[in-house]
Amino acid sequence: MIRLTKPRSVRGTLLALLLPSGITLMALAWFVHGLLLDRMSRGFVEGRLHDEVAFLELQVRQSDGRLDTLQTGDYFQDVFHHAFALHSPTLTSISPESWRPLLAPLLDSDHQGSIRVQDADITDTPSDILAYRRSFIVNDTPIVIIVAEDMAALRASQAELHAWTAIVSLLLILLLVGVIWIGITLSMRPVESLQSALKKLQDGTISRINVRAPEEFQPLVQQLNQLLDSLDQRLERSRDALANLSHSVKTPIAAVRQILEDSSRPLDKTLREEMALRLGDIDSQLEAEMRRSRFAGPQVGKSALPVKQARDLLWMLGRLYPDKSFELSTELADDHRWPVEQHDLNEILGNLLDNAGKWSARCVELQLTSRDNGATITVADDGPGVPIDQLSSLGTRGVRLDEQTPGHGLGLAIVREIAERYGGCLEFSNGRNGGLKAQVYFPKPDSGSAN
């Protein structure tokens, strides 16, 4: 079962993607900050303890191992703010004295270097300390030195710093939300401008969309304006066609009406022929305008299969001209499409092939090509050809061509008009076989003129 959901807005989609990502990154940064802070603080404390142990060792060696000559008591604690323990076979000095239950077991340990004691449950002693122990011999006397620091106070400062980091992270997240919201709002302004322009277009205030849109929206604006140009041209052609039709049939209708209203004249053979002639004129005008409306220009969203249509027409013309050969040359696939209406493409191919079939001696060649800049239809025959000075008169707009017109030209005016409505052109030249070669070029919709 397909579940239909309401499309999410662009603003909601961006917030749904960016906000959780920002929160995740901030949380990860806060977690890494805690690990690094703990590691750095421990390294800093170990460095200080190591230096103080080295200082005490120097003092002991200078006194030849006689601990009783050293200034102990609270001296080292007041100077270095650390607890310490000095031990020899004859003397053990621990400061402060309250730390003795915590440091005395470390004197008997064999461990060298830093020692971490946590969760100690001894009255008047810290529960978490970091100590540095070193043992050495001076004048055959074993000496043990331990310097320790209460980590609780450091952890409290560290936790306070970590908490402030969390607060700053939350503020940054809020700032990130604001920046994202402002960025999305600014980015959506062109869409709002485009929406406003479409509303004005609908109300008739403007005739084209003139919006300073970003690069991503420029193709959309151009396509909309091209669509409006096409609709305006179609409307203009329809109005012109109606005006021409009205003007053309006005006189024949008036003549027929005059004959019918004249009761003093009988409808003899001459009048009947005159009425039939006038009605024929009306029918011709209607047929011409209907035919012209059939190739009124490209319709948006329509396309044709040139290879399939060409093969169908070649088969039909092969039956119409059985003594002549019609050949197709193309590299296009059968499912390749051109942005041309199917009827318009049939008009072009049919007129060009029929014209070539009438005048060819044995062979008609049709070539379909498609390049990056557009598509080309080439029809060449091996007939008598056309003098060079008469090529420019072929397919002249406004010239009515029919079966009785001598020379090349049947339907070529229609072909030229269709090509021009698509922004293309129709060109004539003499082919390699001596006959006429006609080429119709269609530019790509985005590279050609809008219709």
Residue 176 in tokens: 């990130």
Q: How many angstroms separate the CA atoms of 138 and 69, rounded?
A: 14
326, 262 Cβ separation under 8 angstroms: no
Q: Specify the 3-state DSSP secondary structure of 117.
A: strand
Specify burial of residue 355 (Cβ count, 10 A radius: 0-12, 13-18, 19+): buried
Q: What is the pLDDT along the chain (451 residues), one digit of tens a residue?
A: 445 455 567 677 777 777 788 788 888 888 887 888 778 877 888 888 888 888 888 878 887 777 766 655 444 555 556 788 888 888 888 877 778 888 888 888 888 888 888 777 776 677 778 888 888 888 888 888 888 887 777 777 777 877 888 888 888 888 888 888 888 788 777 777 777 877 877 766 777 777 776 677 778 778 888 888 877 777 777 766 666 566 556 656 666 666 676 666 676 777 677 677 667 767 666 666 665 555 555 554 567 899 999 998 888 888 778 888 999 999 999 899 888 888 788 888 988 998 888 888 899 999 999 988 889 999 999 888 888 888 777 776 444 434 444 444 457 877 888 888 888 999 988 888 888 899 999 988 654 443 4
Q: How many angstroms separate the CA atoms of 226 and 103, rounded?
A: 89
Q: Hey, what amino acid is at 345?
A: L
Q: How many angstroms separate the CA atoms of 181 and 186, rounded?
A: 9
Is the entire prediction scored with pTM above 0.75? Answer: no
Dump pLDDT digits (tens) for 406-438. Answer: 444 457 877 888 888 888 999 988 888 888 899
Q: Is 297 left (phi over 0), alpha (psi -120 to 50) or beta?
A: left
Contacts of 290 (CB under 8 A, 6+ apart): none
Dump pLDDT digits (tens) for 101-121. Answer: 888 888 888 888 888 887 777
Q: How many angstroms separate the CA atoms of 219 and 305, rounded?
A: 26
